[in-house]
């Protein structure tokens, strides 16, 4: 029998217990930096050096972080289920935990690509370079001679993988949302593409920006919430 499909949407909260800061909670990155300065396309054109420095720092933190029990539990679901992780995170902790199908909606911190001119922001996947945890600075150029920029979806840019993400959610038998405040679209609206009969679970210790009776809220941190979810999973699709 084909394995049941689980779509897992994650946000910064799933990496909180790995020591990576979230964005909007207390101690969140957007309390320290202005996202319009360091994570928007206008910020990039205003001050490339500042933006490059922000992602260099993020990459350095990432080199010191490890997947936590929640990442491992999500990867472990693959034993019995057909799992796709759709993540808003730019870290690589899902991959390092062993998840084999991870779709990044907002890009990846370890990757950069050429800045193909102010208005031509198209690029091909083969131009994307994985720099691991190394810094990238002003003057570091791509083979085509243009400045290397973070392979991140900045505020103000399109989310190229959103159509794929919608298809994954629409085809899921269960949807799990872990560690996102559901403030940022189009990611926050993804759960609405789940079939009516598809249960949607949310793991988050706090209230999130969306209230919907369809969503079963497991009010726990990710590592604990995953245990609760897995026990519920056995009940709901067997
Ligand atoms: N376990 C589970 N959830 C947690 C934990 C934890 N240990 N700690 C915090 N959280 C929850 C918070 O309660 C919050 O709801 O994680 C969520 C983090 O929300 P945000 O900081 O808004 O992060 P996220 O939702 O991922 O942001 C979405 O915004 O800035 C952009 O591109 C950036 O991808 C990011 C997007």
Residues facing 201 on adjacent strands: 176, 216
Does residue 147 share a domain with residue 84? no
Residue 77 belongs to domain spanning: 1-20+67-106+158-238
> Which CATH number belongs to the domain containing residue 122 in this structure?
3.30.1600.10
189 alpha carbon – ligand 1 mean position (Å) = 15
Q: 30 and 125 share a domain? A: yes
Span 9-16, mean pLDDT? Answer: 98
Q: How confident is the model at residue 237 (pLDDT cuts 50, 70, 90)?
A: low
Residue having the nearest C-alpha atom to atom 35 of ligand 1:
88
Query: Are residues 167 and 137 part of one domain?
Result: no
What is the reported pLDDT for 120?
Answer: 62
Q: Determine if ligand 1 sits within 6 Å of the CB of residue 221.
A: yes
Q: 187 with 211, same domain?
A: yes
Q: Which atom of ligand 1 is nearest to the CA of 24?
A: 21
175 and 232 assigned to the same domain: yes
pLDDT tens-digit map of 71-97: 999 999 999 999 999 999 999 999 999
| Ligand 1, atom nearest to 206 Cα | 13
| End-of-domain residue from the set 98, 124, 152 | 152
25-69 pLDDT per residue, tens: 889 999 999 999 999 999 999 999 999 999 999 999 999 999 999
Note the pLDDT tens digit of each residue in 155-185. Answer: 999 999 999 999 999 999 999 999 999 999 9
Nearest CA to ligand 1 atom 8: 13
Tokens of 8: 């897992």
Q: Which residues contact 5 (CB under 8 A, 6 or more apart)?
A: 81, 82, 83, 84, 171, 172, 173, 174
Domain shared by 182 and 229, yes or no: yes
Residues 97 and 134 in one domain: no
User: Residues 120, 226: one domain?
Assistant: no
Smallest CA separation from ligand 1 atom 30, residue:
23
Q: What is the pLDDT of residue 168?
A: 98
Q: Look at residue 121 in the predicted model and tell me its pLDDT.
A: 67
Instruction: Please check the confidence at residue 110 and state whether its pLDDT lies above 90.
Output: yes
Could you tell me if the CB of 24 is within 6 A of ligand 1? Answer: yes
Considering the domain architecture, whether residues 55 and 81 belong to the same structural domain is answered as no
Per-residue burial over 62-95, b = 16 or more CB atoms within 10 Å of its CB, e = otherwise: beeeebbbbbbbbbbbbeebbbbbbbbbbbbbbb
Ligand 1 pocket member 181 (CB < 6 A): yes
Active site residue 217: no
| Residue pointed to by tokens 């009940």 | 235
Looking from the CA of residue 90, the nearest atom of ligand 1 is 34
Say what percent of the chain tops pLDDT 90: 91
Dist. CA 77–CA 45, nearest whole Å: 42
CA atoms within 13 A on the CB side of 230: 18
Looking at residue 238, its pLDDT comes to 47
**What pLDDT, on the 0 to 100 scale, is given for residue 215?**
98
Q: Which of 9, 13, 58 to mutate to test the pocket of ligand 1 (most atoms within 8 A of CB)?
A: 13
Given a cut of 60, is residue 113 above it in pLDDT? yes
Q: Which tokens sit at 121?
A: 């922001």
Q: Is 108 in the pocket of ligand 1 (CB under 6 A)?
A: no
Residue 84 and residue 55 in one domain: no
pLDDT reported for residue 208: 98
23 lines ligand 1 (CB under 6 A): yes
State the average pLDDT over residues 133-139.
Answer: 98
0.75 exceeded by pTM: yes
pLDDT tens-place string over residues 137-160: 999 999 989 999 999 999 999 999
Please give the tally of structural domains in the chain. 2
Domain closes at, from 90, 125, 152: 152
**Are residue 123 and residue 140 in the same domain, yes or no?**
yes
104 lines ligand 1 (CB under 6 A): no
Q: Are residues 31 and 97 in the same domain?
A: no
Q: What is the CATH number of the domain that holds 75?
A: 3.40.50.1220
Nearest to 70 by CA among 231, 232, 223: 223
């Amino acid at each position: 029998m084909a394995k049941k499909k689980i779509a897992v949407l994650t946000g910064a909260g799933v990496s909180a217990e790995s020591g990576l800061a979230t964005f909007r909670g207390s101690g969140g990155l957007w309390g320290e930096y202005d996202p319009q300065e360091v994570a928007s396309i206008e910020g990039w054109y205003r001050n490339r050096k500042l933006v490059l420095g922000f992602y260099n720092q993020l990459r350095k933190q990432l080199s010191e972080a490890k997947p936590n029990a929640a990442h491992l539990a999500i990867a472990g679901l693959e034993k019995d289920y057909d799992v796709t992780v759709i993540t808003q995170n730019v870290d690589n902790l899902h991959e390092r935990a062993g998840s084999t199908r991870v779709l990044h909606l907002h890009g990846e911190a370890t990757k950069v690509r050429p800045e193909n001119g102010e208005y031509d922001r198209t690029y091909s996947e083969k131009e994307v370079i994985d720099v691991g945890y190394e810094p990238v600075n002003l003057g570091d150029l791509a083979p085509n001679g243009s400045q290397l920029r973070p392979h991140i979806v900045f505020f103000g840019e399109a989310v190229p993988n959103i159509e794929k993400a919608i298809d994954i959610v629409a085809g899921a038998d269960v949807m799990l949302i872990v560690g996102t405040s559901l403030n940022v679209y189009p990611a926050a609206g993804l759960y609405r593409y789940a079939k009516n009969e598809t249960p949607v679970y949310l793991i988050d210790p706090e209230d999130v920006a969306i209230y919907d009776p369809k969503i079963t809220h497991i009010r726990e941190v990710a590592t604990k919430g995953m245990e609760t979810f897995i026990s519920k999973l056995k009940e709901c699709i067997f």
